[in-house]
Chain A
Amino acid sequence: MSNPPQAQHTLSVLVEDKPGVLARVSLLLARRGFNIHSLAVGPARDEGTALMTIVVEALELEQVKKQLHKLVNVVKITELDPDQSFEREIMIVRVSAPPNRRGEVLEVASLFKAVPVDAAPTTIAFLVTGDPMKLRNFLNLVRPFGITDLVKSGRIAMARDVKTNSASLRAIG
């Protein structure tokens, strides 16, 4: 079944760190027909809580938020406006790099501040950190060399500190 393309929204969901809470959240989203594009979870600032960054595809974000709020363990939901927040992903990508092309590969990697984390006679694995656009661009540039392995962390995001008029300190590239 093909669905109409739906907009992506990034939600920051603060939950009580109880067993099964990830299952509850993902089950609810599936049950209500909302697609999860990415979900990253880890301990939050306060002990006993965890923060989920969920990128969800939905026509009706209001329903997603209201349904999530019905979960007893969900404490707070913030929708992150792309202009008022920053997002990061981590990716490890192993690129085919035989000796005769190694120089080219490393050149591309340096443009993106991609860190070599593993090297073999014919491949190099890079760790890349950045916003989703940067990761996509890097992949486009190394694809012609051949990608042999790829893993992404899922997106994490945080709202900007608008109260103090923060400036983006994002590194170039």
Chain B
Amino acid sequence: MHPDQPARPEDHPLTKRTGAETLIASLEKEGVETIFGVPGGAILPAYDPLYDSPIRHILARHEQGAGHMAEGYAWATGEVGVCIVTSGPGATNLVTPLTNALIDSVPLVAISGQVSTRSVGNDAFQEAYTVGVTMSATKHNYFVTDPDDIADVVHEAFHIAATGRPGPVLIDLPKDILAATAATHAPREIDLPGYKPATEGHHLKVNEAIALIASATRPVLYIGGGIIKANAYREVRRLAEAATLPVVTTLMGRGAFPDNHPLALGMPGMHGNYTAITAMQHADLLIAIGVRFDDRVTGDPDSFAPHAKVIHADVDPAEIGKIRTADVPIVGDARRVLVQLLEAWGDRRVPDRTAWLALLSDWQRTYPLTYDQQPDGPVKPQYVIEELYRLTGGDAIIVAGVGQHQMWTSQFWKFDEPRHWINSGGLGTMGFAIPAAVGAKVGKPDELVYAIDGDGCFQMTLQELITAATENIPVKIAVINNGSLGMVKQWQELFYSGRLSATLLGDHPDYVKLAEGMGCVGLRAQIPEEVAPVIEKSLSIDDRPVVVEFVVDPDEMVFPMVPAGGTNDEVVVGPGTIVKRNDASRLDTPA
């Protein structure tokens, strides 16, 4: 609040106010505390009442950054993230975060300015057809043409963003509508005849599911981001324990079930561990909750989990049967469905799963995740992640970009709590980590927020570290520097005869100087014995953002690996080492 500013008329309900004032008052009413944005011509009227508002505005350096910050905030807090941009390039720069939020089900409300209604359609300065451009990038969007609609639209947008399968909602506001006088009224009661999110699962399906769970001999509980979105981690753990179900957690679901739990198998999929992948291939039942049978999990869908019956519960009915036919489909909120399953399970006796659990432990012992850190060799990226885990005690919100560093982090970090792992899973948006970490730290200022980023990703959104330094948001960024677009390079090594076309990033920049130039602390480790000391140093600094460059082995690859479109029956567990399912099998799996 700026005491020298004239008071605005919000406290006088009979006084008319502008559309912009209504917008800011509506955001306040929705409980918004922070918004991330970049102002510009068309959105200017909204920034004026924002100046007086208790809402904190974080000035991002690029609209993509503002969008990912809002995503990081939403991930960390479970609240709707809010961002605000101007028309034209401001809005088109937001397309990536919106698409990212759509595919990863992140609740966002995005406000975009638009040219005045009389100019709309005339190719005015900074005009883009934002509603058209973002139609496929949002759960829903609005073009507001009447200032009296603003309060209702904002209220509806938050409802749609947060309920059902969460997602991004955009509100496009022409400048003259923001400037016009708007009626002050409480928002109408929401009336959306075409929007009825699922809640309870069908009780008959729940009973069918219980019968399958009770009779399965090799069940796998396959859970993902839907568990985190529905805040269902307690319930999922209770079900796993009640029915003795080994659990795989997808990339989006890391932290939905504690990795240190005896029933935890970790991450399945393209770079999952052998046991998680192979457990699904041998399973006679998949209990899939809050997952979408993504191609990064299933590999070739025709050979995925070939012996398994499938129970599939999801809040989005379109996910059920999209990739894999469900024997028992359950449409419903993950937490409510889990509660129903637990009630229906009651105090049933746990079936004897000793043989199955023994086989899984056997695989875990035979095919652990490995890497080879020589004391005088180059720093291995996996070692950096394990040292970070050790020195933080695992007590941090970890944010990743996209690529090798993301996979190594998901593999080697032990996630024990939900909302402590933030990454871009579906869209695979390089550059996600820095702005998402900034957003997460704003949402959870008392938690340690450590981004583990690749050097390629870092260079895509590094300017948001200036935002972090300026706004006093002390995030920490570990740059796993292998001098290349590592995952792309890995594919070139494996599938393109090592022809490294355009994947080497070269020797620049100097990350320490770059960090310092942006107002952050810059640190560097180049040999294994420097790793722990720089991490400790980074943990001792809490008044500024810290960038720690780890110069790592440029040739390290991510294993295990199931090549894209390949069958999960053949896991490349290490360079040149393929384990075929039948080689490893001690079970008589049905043909």
User: Within 8 Å of chain B (Cβ to Cβ): is A66?
Assistant: yes
Docked-complex contact A67 and B143, CB < 8 angstroms: no
* Total residues of chain A contacting the partner, CB 8 A: 21
Stretch with Cβ within 8 A of A (4 or more), from B11-19, B131-139, B241-249, B428-436: B131-139
Docked-complex contact A16 and B193, CB < 8 angstroms: yes
Chain A residues within an 8 Å CB radius of B140 = 71-72
Docked-complex contact B321 and A72, CB < 8 angstroms: no
Query: Smallest distance from the beta carbon of A168 to chain B beta carbons, Å?
Result: 32
Please tell me which one of the listed residues A19, A66, A71 contacts residue B194 in the complex, with CB atoms under 8 A apart. A71
Please tell me which one of the listed residues B136, B143, B322 contacts residue A27 in the complex, with CB atoms under 8 A apart. B136
Docked-complex contact A66 and B317, CB < 8 angstroms: yes
Query: Smallest distance from the beta carbon of A66 to chain B beta carbons, Å?
Result: 4
Interface string of B266-304 (1 = CB under 8 A from A): 000000000000000000000000000000000000000
Chain B residues within an 8 Å CB radius of A47 = none
Query: Smallest distance from the beta carbon of A22 to chain B beta carbons, Å?
Result: 11
Docked-complex contact A75 and B194, CB < 8 angstroms: yes
User: Within 8 Å of chain B (Cβ to Cβ): is A142?
Assistant: no
Interface string of A16-27 (1 = CB under 8 A from B): 100110011001
For window 185-214 of chain B, which residues contact chain A by CB distance below 8 Å?
Answer: 192-195
Minimal Cβ-Cβ distance residue in B for A62: B321
Please tell me which one of the listed residues A15, A23, A67 contacts residue B318 in the complex, with CB atoms under 8 A apart. A67
Interface string of B135-155 (1 = CB under 8 A from A): 110011001000000000000
Chain B residues within an 8 Å CB radius of A62 = 321
Interface string of B309-327 (1 = CB under 8 A from A): 0000000111001100000
Chain A residues within an 8 Å CB radius of B192 = 72
Query: Smallest distance from the beta carbon of B85 to chain A beta carbons, Å?
Result: 20
Docked-complex contact B317 and A72, CB < 8 angstroms: no
User: Within 8 Å of chain A (Cβ to Cβ): is B42?
Assistant: no
Chain B residues within an 8 Å CB radius of A72 = 139-140, 160, 192, 194-195
Q: In whole angstroms, how far apart are the Cα atoms of A69 and B317 in the complex?
A: 9
Docked-complex contact B317 and A20, CB < 8 angstroms: no
Q: In whole angstroms, how far apart are the Cα atoms of A71 and B136 in the complex?
A: 11
Docked-complex contact B318 and A19, CB < 8 angstroms: no
Chain B residues within an 8 Å CB radius of A20 = 131-132, 135, 143
User: Within 8 Å of chain B (Cβ to Cβ): is A70?
Assistant: yes
User: Within 8 Å of chain B (Cβ to Cβ): is A8?
Assistant: no
Q: In whole angstroms, how far apart are the Cα atoms of A62 and B331 in the complex?
A: 14
User: Within 8 Å of chain B (Cβ to Cβ): is A85?
Assistant: no
Q: In whole angstroms, how far apart are the Cα atoms of A7 and B342 in the complex?
A: 42
Query: Smallest distance from the beta carbon of B188 to chain A beta carbons, Å?
Result: 14
Once A20-B135, A20-B143 are accepted as A-B contacts, the answer to whether A70 and B318 lie under 8 Å apart by CB is yes
Chain A residues within an 8 Å CB radius of B321 = 62-63
Q: In whole angstroms, how far apart are the Cα atoms of A70 and B136 in the complex?
A: 12
Docked-complex contact B194 and A63, CB < 8 angstroms: no
Q: In whole angstroms, how far apart are the Cα atoms of A18 and B142 in the complex?
A: 10
Docked-complex contact B135 and A16, CB < 8 angstroms: no
Chain B residues within an 8 Å CB radius of A24 = 135
Chain B residues within an 8 Å CB radius of A56 = none
User: Within 8 Å of chain B (Cβ to Cβ): is A11?
Assistant: no
Q: In whole angstroms, how far apart are the Cα atoms of A69 and B320 in the complex?
A: 14
Minimal Cβ-Cβ distance residue in B for A46: B193
Interface string of A65-81 (1 = CB under 8 A from B): 01101111111100000
For window 19-65 of chain A, which residues contact chain B by CB distance below 8 Å?
Answer: 19-20, 23-24, 27-28, 31, 62-63
Q: In whole angstroms, how far apart are the Cα atoms of A66 and B321 in the complex?
A: 10
Which residue among A27, A62, A67, A70 has the maximum number of chain B CB atoms within 10 Å of its CB?
A70
Once A63-B318, A63-B322 are accepted as A-B contacts, the answer to whether A31 and B195 lie under 8 Å apart by CB is no
For window 99-132 of chain B, which residues contact chain A by CB distance below 8 Å?
Answer: 131-132
Q: In whole angstroms, how far apart are the Cα atoms of A71 and B160 in the complex?
A: 11
Once A70-B316, A70-B318 are accepted as A-B contacts, the answer to whether A16 and B194 lie under 8 Å apart by CB is yes
Q: In whole angstroms, how far apart are the Cα atoms of A72 and B168 in the complex?
A: 13
Docked-complex contact B135 and A23, CB < 8 angstroms: yes
Minimal Cβ-Cβ distance residue in A for B169: A72
Q: A23-B132, A67-B318 are in contact. List 15 more A-B contacts (CB 8 A).
A: A16-B194, A23-B135, A28-B136, A62-B321, A63-B321, A63-B322, A66-B322, A69-B318, A70-B139, A70-B316, A70-B318, A72-B160, A72-B192, A72-B195, A75-B193
Interface residues of B (CB under 8 A from A): 131-132, 135-136, 139-140, 143, 160, 192-195, 316-318, 321-322
Interface residues of A (CB under 8 A from B): 15-16, 19-20, 23-24, 27-28, 31, 62-63, 66-67, 69-76
Task: List the 10 closest pairs (A to B, CB-CB), nearest first.
Answer: A66-B318, A75-B194, A72-B140, A72-B195, A75-B193, A74-B194, A66-B317, A67-B318, A73-B194, A31-B136
Q: What would 25 A/B residue contacts be, using CB atoms closer than 8 Å?
A: A16-B193, A19-B143, A20-B132, A20-B135, A23-B132, A23-B135, A24-B135, A27-B135, A63-B321, A63-B322, A66-B317, A66-B318, A67-B318, A69-B194, A70-B316, A70-B318, A71-B140, A71-B194, A72-B140, A72-B160, A72-B192, A73-B194, A74-B194, A75-B193, A75-B194
